[in-house]
Amino acid sequence: MTNRNLLVKGIEVIGILFAAFGGFLVGIAPPQAGDAKFAVGISSFLALIVLFTIVSLAKKKHRKLWIIAGLCLFVIAIAAAYYYKSVNDELTFEYPPGNNRVEHIAGIQKTEQAQKYANDHQGISNAQLLAKFGGLENKGKVWPDDSVNTARRKLISSYVILVLAIAGSIFALIEGALGVGPTRRS
């Protein structure tokens, strides 16, 4: 297979991976405020790099190693999925309260005043807390900018790890089970 055909097949595989299951990987990306386009884009490129690395390293005599690697990556993907879900649930919120279509990113730590209010009102949601402090235009009164940026980086990095673990697991298991990588089927 020529290098060009390999590149085209690789891009097709990544496109299918991100389009599969109704765009699931795109749908769970961090909210737009969390640089969703960046997270999905970098994950796509890194998954393509993982695919080409696996294809270049693959040899039929190492099928068991590919299966073991794929299963290890599968376990990592499960852990990464639970971690990403918990981080996403902790660091994103709907605003205004009850609006389940617009998500925003909370900070890792609240300002002193917001933390005191949250402690005094146990169970208050991030959206309710933000509303108490005047809404989105006053987000800095609830979470400092550096705290929100740290949360954004945490969301993006956990998403990228999740996608790479899923992609790596799929590619390694295909290589191990079939002995032919997804880009070598012509």
What are 80-115's pLDDT values in tens digits? 999 999 999 999 988 877 666 668 899 999 999 999
| pTM to 2 decimal places | 0.77
- DSSP SS3 for 133: coil
Q: By the 8 A CB rule, do 106 and 129 touch?
A: no
Give ∠ CA 27-32-35 in degrees, rounded to 5: 100
Cα distances (Å, whole numbers) of residue 138 to 65, 101, 131, 132? 53, 21, 9, 10
- Assess whether pLDDT exceeds 80 at residue 58: no
> Hey, how many other C-beta atoms are within 10 angstroms of the C-beta on 89?
9
For residue 121, the model assigns a pLDDT of 94
Q: Quote the pLDDT of residue 12.
A: 77
Mean pLDDT check: name the lowest of 15-24, 36-45, 103-112, 173-182.
173-182
| pLDDT, position 75 | 94
Distance from C-alpha of 158 to C-alpha of 141, rounded to nearest angstrom = 26
Q: 119 versus 174: which is more confidently predicted? A: 119
Q: Is the peptide bond before 96 cis (omega within 30 degrees of 0)?
A: yes
Q: Which residue has the higher pLDDT, 184 or 27?
A: 27
Q: What pLDDT is attached to residue 186? A: 45
pLDDT mean across residues, the chain? 82
Own/partner long-range contacts of 20-29 (Cβ < 8 Å, ≥24 apart): 25/163, 25/166, 28/84, 28/88, 28/159, 29/159
| Residues 65-81 pLDDT 10s | 888 888 999 999 999 99
Between 78 and 177, where is the model more confident?
78
Give CA–CA dist 77/1, Å, rounded: 31
H or E segment to which residue 57 belongs: helix 36-57
Return d(Cα 125, Cα 137) in angstroms, integer.
18
CB 173 within 8 A of CB 166: no
Residue 2 confidence (pLDDT): 61
